[in-house]
Amino acid sequence: MTPATATLQIDIVSDVVCPWCIVGYLQLAEALESTGTPHKIRWHPFELNPGMAQAGQNMREHIAEKYGSTKEQSDESRDRLTEVGAELGFEFRFTEDMRMHNTFNVHQLLHWAEQQGRMHDLKLALFSGHFTDGRNLSDNSVLADMAFEIGLDRAEALAVLNEQRFALQVREAENHWKNQGIRSVPAVIFNQRHLVSGAQGVENFKGILEQLKTLE
């Protein structure tokens, strides 16, 4: 980047029920801190399961149906995520009754939180709420509670969800990124030009950040 102190714009397309999205973000965050890279992050919506019923589904059942995974494969994946998460200071607490959720309302709440300057804080709270605390992200009351817990107005948060106030804006944003070719997450776009997909690992992200300095 020129000058060296220029702020790196980082757009992250993700879903809060995507485990590799939080892993990828934490890896990137560690690389940003290690390299002292000035940056600004903005999150964007992506639904892993847009057709899922609002009540959600048992996670093991969902993974088996969607990917054909056996219980043994599922356990291996959970163990790997738990280990990687622990290395990054994030606790995955998988349980047998853990559920996958429809996250359309989650993204509406995040859109509203962005207007309050709190999208980033809420996004991280939602990752922890889902993967660590097993909170029901299908329940608007739970989502409103989580907004309140980071200092936002609970009644207004609940009204946003019940009224589907930002449904159109979220759909437009989702469609924008689909039209940009984003089909899987996390998808990280640096300075609106350089796309990196997946959780790359801290060292790889460091290398990417150093390379970007020579490209900009």
Q: Does residue 214 have a pLDDT over 90?
A: no
**What CATH number should be reported for the domain whose range is 102-181?**
3.40.30.10
What superfamily in CATH does domain 1-46+184-216 come from?
Glutaredoxin (3.40.30.10)
| pLDDT at residue 2 in the model | 43
Helix (H, G, I), strand (E, B) or coil at 100: strand
User: Which residue did the predictor score with more confidence, 107 or 4?
Assistant: 107
Domains 1-46+184-216 and 102-181 alike in fold: yes
Tens of pLDDT along 28-39? 999 999 999 999
- Residue 31 CA to residue 188 CA, distance in Å, equals 14
Q: Does residue 3 have a pLDDT over 60?
A: no
* DSSP state, residue 165: T
Q: In whole numbers, what is the pLDDT of the chain averaged over residues?
A: 95
| pLDDT at residue 216 in the model | 62
- Residue 134 CA to residue 191 CA, distance in Å, equals 34
Tens of pLDDT along 51-96? 999 889 999 999 999 999 999 999 999 999 999 999 999 999 999 9
Per domain, the residue ranges of the chain are 1-46+184-216, 57-100, 102-181
Instruction: Give me the residues paired with residue 14 across strands.
Output: 45
For 159, phi then psi, to 5°, come to: -65, -40
Q: What is the pTM of this model?
A: 0.95
